[in-house]
């Protein structure tokens, strides 16, 4: 885009210079300069039209690329959402039963939670160390549960696990310093 702006500016400068040339009648050199200035104006106008056309073409290509990206993302997520919809239906039923003051076993709710967890695992979400695990504090992977300061390498206990997506940490583990 920067190049397009510079080309447009160059065209405008050429047009302004072509308009500023003063022509005196009866002089062949001046007539030649007038012809060259007119040619320069025409070339500058054509260049500006080409720049505008290229700019429109670039915008159209960007929109088309964004449409392809959007449809690709939707196509990749659709299987996950279809499977998730079935799981969420079960969760909605359990919520309805609870709201209706019917008995719902915690094990049934946890079974649905595990289904959700396994679904996301299949799509690349991976948990880190399990709660209760002890390790050495690493600020790249851990965050203090109470926002206190913990020195790197200090022993800590995992309270909430970290999660990574395709091997990139997207949520650090919440930890407590071992006293």
Q: What is the pLDDT of residues 17-71, one digit of tens each?
A: 555 555 555 567 777 777 888 888 888 888 889 999 999 999 999 999 999 999 9
Q: Is the pLDDT of residue 13 over 70?
A: no
Phi-psi category of 101—alpha, beta or left, where left has phi over 0 and alpha has psi -120 to 50? left
Q: Which of 167, 176, 109 is nearest to 149 (CA)?
A: 176
Q: Is the pLDDT of residue 98 over 70?
A: yes
- For 124-179, CATH number out of 3.40.50, 1.10.10, 2.30.22, 2.30.29 equals 2.30.22
**Average pLDDT value for residue range 100-129:** 92
The residue assigned the tokens 């500058």 is 44
Name the more confident of 34 and 177: 177
Percent of the chain with pLDDT over 70: 85
Q: Is the pLDDT of residue 6 over 80?
A: no
Name the more confident of 23 and 83: 83
Residue pair 142/172 in contact (Cβ under 8 Å)? The answer is: yes
- Domain ranges within the chain, ordered by starting residue: 124-179
**pLDDT value at residue 67:** 94
What residues contact 115, with CB distance under 8 A and at least 6 apart? 87, 90
**pLDDT value at residue 175:** 96
Name the more confident of 105 and 6: 105
Helix 28-99 and helix 2-20, axial crossing angle in degrees, nearest 10? 150
């Amino acid at each position: 885009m920067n190049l397009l702006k510079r080309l447009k500016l160059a065209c405008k400068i050429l047009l302004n210079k072509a308009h500023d040339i003063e022509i005196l009648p009866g002089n062949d050199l001046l007539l030649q300069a007038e012809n060259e200035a007119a040619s320069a104006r025409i070339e500058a106008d054509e260049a500006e039209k080409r720049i505008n056309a290229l700019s429109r073409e670039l915008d159209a290509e960007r929109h088309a690329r964004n449409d392809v990206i959007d449809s690709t993302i939707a196509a990749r997520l659709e299987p996950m959402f279809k499977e998730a919809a079935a799981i969420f239906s079960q969760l909605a039923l359990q919520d309805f039963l609870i709201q209706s003051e019917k008995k719902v076993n915690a094990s049934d709710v946890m079974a649905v939670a595990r289904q959700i967890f396994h679904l996301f695992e299949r799509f690349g979400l991976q948990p880190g160390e399990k709660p209760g695990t002890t390790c050495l504090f690493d600020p790249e992977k851990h965050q203090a549960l109470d926002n206190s300061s913990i020195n790197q390498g200090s022993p800590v206990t995992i309270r909430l696990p970290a999660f990574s997506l395709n091997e990139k940490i997207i949520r650090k583990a919440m930890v407590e310093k071992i006293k």
